[in-house]
């Protein structure tokens, strides 16, 4: 599994569905320069754990946006599958009401570039390509800063849903560090004390907590 933290986020330009049902071509993250982006991958449309995550991100979308952060989802489904799921009511297993962009990674190249594809292509002795493993994305999440650099990543296995609150906490920590130059200790939450990134600052923090 590649560690992308500290590196430029892999770029892409592909189909997406935005605003709950509008098709767009050549969707990329370049449009969000100057904002943070939470890019999260999920395995498949029309599954069981996935809609709980997508609705959870939607429930917190206004909070993310108030922190200068956009949310973008991505799976290996087509834009038509995304559109159909977005038009399926929540009580029928759908994600109607989700308004942030859903990226179509039908070629699986975005998942490969972010190294979250739960399998890989193999070539046999005769030159035939075959896929081994699950041809879907793990539950990867990447916090990308205003300059397009990955600052945080977490990868969950397929059965394990994510914590949207933890994603928000990481946004808060990044914003606080960039605004104040202080680092955020374990379990830090917005409104709590941070500390200076030196021995004196650490000692002072620990002495008071």
Which residues are catalytic, by number? 50
C-alpha 29, offset from chain centre? 12
Query: Between the CA of residue 189 and those of 139, 169, 173, what are the distances in Å?
Result: 24, 6, 8
Task: Name the 3-class secondary structure at 153.
Answer: strand
User: What gap in Å lies between CA 33 and CA 142, rounded to an integer?
Assistant: 15
H or E segment at 80? Answer: helix 79-86
Tokens of 39: 């890019």
User: What gap in Å lies between CA 58 and CA 43, rounded to an integer?
Assistant: 18
Spell out the residues 6+ positions from residue 164 whose beta carbon is closer than 8 angstroms to its own. 53, 56, 57, 59, 60
Pairing verdict, β 102-104 and 69-75: parallel
* Strands in the chain per DSSP E: 14-18, 22-27, 36-41, 69-75, 102-104, 117-123, 129-137, 139-144, 150-156
């Amino acid at each position: 599994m590649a560690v992308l933290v500290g590196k430029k986020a892999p770029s892409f330009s592909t189909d997406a569905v935005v605003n709950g049902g509008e098709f767009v071509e050549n969707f990329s993250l370049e449009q969000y320069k100057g904002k943070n982006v939470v890019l999260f991958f999920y395995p498949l449309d029309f599954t069981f754990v996935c809609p709980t995550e997508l609705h959870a991100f939607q429930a917190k979308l206004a909070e993310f946006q108030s922190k200068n952060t956009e949310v973008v989802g991505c799976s290996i489904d087509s834009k038509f599958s995304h559109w159909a799921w977005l038009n399926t009511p929540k009580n029928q297993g759908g994600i109607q009401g989700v308004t942030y962009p859903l990226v179509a990674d039908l070629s699986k190249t975005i998942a490969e570039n972010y190294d979250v594809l739960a399998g890989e292509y193999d070539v046999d002795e005769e030159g035939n390509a075959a896929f081994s493993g699950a041809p879907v994305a793990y539950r990867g999440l990447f916090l990308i800063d205003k300059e397009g650099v990955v600052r945080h990543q977490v990868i969950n296995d397929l059965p394990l849903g994510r914590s949207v609150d933890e994603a928000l906490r990481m946004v808060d920590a990044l914003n606080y560090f960039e605004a104040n130059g202080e680092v955020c200790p374990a379990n830090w939450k917005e409104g709590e004390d941070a500390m200076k990134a030196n021995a004196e600052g650490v000692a002072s923090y620990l002495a008071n907590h």
